[in-house]
Chain A
């Protein structure tokens, strides 16, 4: 267990800044983390509401509620952008990353605290622009993939797509700056004795994610700028009649887009490692394997992008390569899954709520992952591309697995963040309601997709109605689970006081050595980690 040389700072004569300075001009990694989580909650409600509206329409064949199909497409687009850029990324990277990376490595704050704040407010600005894009003009009805020519001025006239592009520019800038901040912090500010190979796996996860962000987001930024100038300034990057190529957009977008999904899941891997270790009272099995598996997933994730483009007419050798490379990613992923199981084997397991969520993650990520292997086959994908089979796949890995990991992180760390315990019984109930809900929601979509139901459609032929109805029921259950979660969030603020380490000796990382709620400033005297057991 880590020993720190840190003195108590409750009596430190900090001049606590006023409300506006503290919350709008923050340079404190904990407050900024809290604000990111708040953004994530708000976006989750809006993005979730959009998805429930979509499922409401799809519950039965025929058009019942949404007869403006541009609006339907806007819902689909905004739902995707909100969930990816404004729910999952802010919560895991901006929220938990900011809160716990400095705490776990024994640093007093991030390397660039003011830039941290800029990242947060850039994200908020991007969020506002995205909402504006949906209500000004006809809204961006392109899907989150924004393919031209549909996204060109000719087919999406007006300012909506442009506002969406600018929204993503800001969100991208926010993440790039955040990535720089995390890399510098993790490389340069670890406490003495905490070598790279002795830092917690969650920190590894954030480090790898930061590198992915750095490499992938600029390509998106370039592509978005090209689309913006095509739409408004007469360039022809993607206009065939003037020598451009719409397929170039696809290459650029997916060169970003595939690493993006690893950006979403790798922090989740980190959270799950921390939780499985804590609640098995055992260090994670195969620390180096885990760290380098995440690195391998990150690296290989950059050379598989065209598995999103199997139907555009690639050469057979090209398709063969991308099929093989995509399947290769299953290997390091498998290393991780088996390592988590090996961590639990022989451990003393406590089925607290964070552990339930982590176990749910492991199981359901595998389910989602294997459908990814199915889709990786170029030949099979010719049938599955743009069907609900794809929708089911990515919702399993992102909407289920990543969200379960976010809940896991919330329940694991909320005591540290706000000093109160969540209501245990209600949280267990919420876990089961949500778990059942998301499975009833997304599992039947595999069947719809297999039967050929296309995606991004507001209506479908009658034979698809059965599984669509079931899926919409699942959406209702999930909605109840989400409402339960927000009730739990509320009740936590009035909950029992949390002790510094509420999870016992399984919780070995540095955040459990500080008080709950964590003091505003921590590790002002660096803890000395030389010779200590790895604080994994």
Chain B
């Protein structure tokens, strides 16, 4: 093989390696993206903590509780309280209620975030039903706890010191991927006229 051919082959191999590396990075972005949001709190991603620092001052903030259910999950899901006023740093317990309206056992998972989105890094959850899948038997009703605190730094950060209300929002989805949806999809959904 001539020197030129060898050199061409080597460069081509190196460039192909680059391509493979970029594909790898694309797939690596999946866990990295989740990790990035968890670490930085971007997008209203709450933090996870093990222990609250305890109330540091009398400064208070209002927490509101929002509950949503994906239409494919046959549950009634709501917050037990609309809002609470909490002290910064103080460990707080709140409840959500869920009831399975179906005649069969149904498993759901919850996704969650907080608004305003910039409050994400300062909302820390200690215990949450959202950490695990929940299975409810037919007709079963349960109370689900959320233990959290607000990091006192929220009022020292210039970007967030204007926050007076933080809303914690959950949406429950069915845990299994929808096999029904493909057949049941309305064929005329997309042909809707004005």
Contact = CB atoms under 8 A, between A and B. Distances in A.
A67 interface: yes
Q: Is the interface of A mostly helix, strand, loop or mixed?
A: helix
Interface stretch (B7-15, B75-83, B146-154): B7-15
**Chain B residues touching A, majority SS:** helix
A69 B192 contact: yes
A155 B111 CA distance: 21
Interface string B158-194: 0100000000000101110110011001010111111
B70 interface: yes
Given A223-B26, A313-B43, A214 B18 contact: yes
Contact of B181 (A63, A154, A316): A154
B1 interface: no
A219 B25 contact: yes
Interface string B19-33: 110110111011001
Contacts, number: 116
B29 A251 contact: yes
A155 B33 CA distance: 25
A187 B14 CA distance: 13
A315 B173 CA distance: 27
Contacts of B15: 179-180, 183-184, 214
Contacts of A240: 111, 171, 173
A154 B178 contact: yes
A111 B111 contact: no
Which of B26, B34, B189 has the largest number of chain A CB atoms within 10 A?
B26
Contacts of B30: 226, 237, 248
Contact of B11 (A138, A188, A245): A188
A141 interface: yes
A240 B109 CA distance: 10
B174 A69 contact: no
A315 B177 CA distance: 32
B190 A70 contact: yes
A21 interface: no
Contact of A315 (B12, B18, B26, B42): B42
B4 interface: yes
B191 A112 contact: no
B125 interface: no
Interface residues of B, number: 44
Contact of B8 (A111, A219, A243, A251): A111
Given A234-B177, A240-B173, A315-B42, A68 B185 contact: no
A191 B117 CA distance: 58
Chain A, interface size category, equals 35 or more
B16 interface: yes
A399 interface: no
A183 B7 CA distance: 12
A180 B109 contact: no
A143 interface: no
A70 B18 contact: no
Contacts of A221: 23, 26
B118 interface: yes
Nearest to B13: A180
A223 B30 CA distance: 10
Contact of B29 (A141, A187, A252): A252
B114 to A, nearest CB: 12
B11 A183 contact: yes
A154 B185 contact: yes
B33 A245 contact: yes
Contacts of B177: 234, 236, 239, 242
A536 interface: no
A218 B24 CA distance: 9
A138 B8 CA distance: 45
A248 B193 CA distance: 31
Of B19, B34, B159, most buried by chain A (CB within 10 Å of CB) is B19
Contact of A219 (B16, B18, B22): B22
29 contacts: A63-B194, A69-B192, A69-B193, A138-B190, A153-B182, A154-B178, A157-B185, A176-B19, A180-B12, A180-B19, A183-B11, A184-B8, A184-B11, A187-B11, A188-B11, A215-B18, A218-B22, A218-B23, A222-B25, A222-B26, A236-B177, A242-B173, A242-B175, A247-B43, A248-B30, A251-B33, A252-B29, A313-B43, A315-B42
Given A189-B8, A215-B18, A315-B42, 20 more contacts: A69-B193, A141-B190, A153-B181, A154-B181, A155-B185, A157-B182, A183-B11, A188-B4, A188-B7, A189-B4, A214-B18, A214-B19, A222-B25, A237-B30, A243-B111, A247-B43, A248-B29, A313-B43, A316-B159, A318-B42
Interface of A: 63, 67-70, 111-112, 138, 141, 153-155, 157, 176, 179-180, 183-184, 187-189, 214-215, 217-219, 221-223, 226, 234, 236-237, 239-243, 245, 247-248, 251-252, 313, 315-318, 459
The 8 closest A-B pairs by CB, nearest first: A222-B26, A241-B173, A218-B22, A70-B190, A218-B23, A219-B26, A180-B15, A111-B8
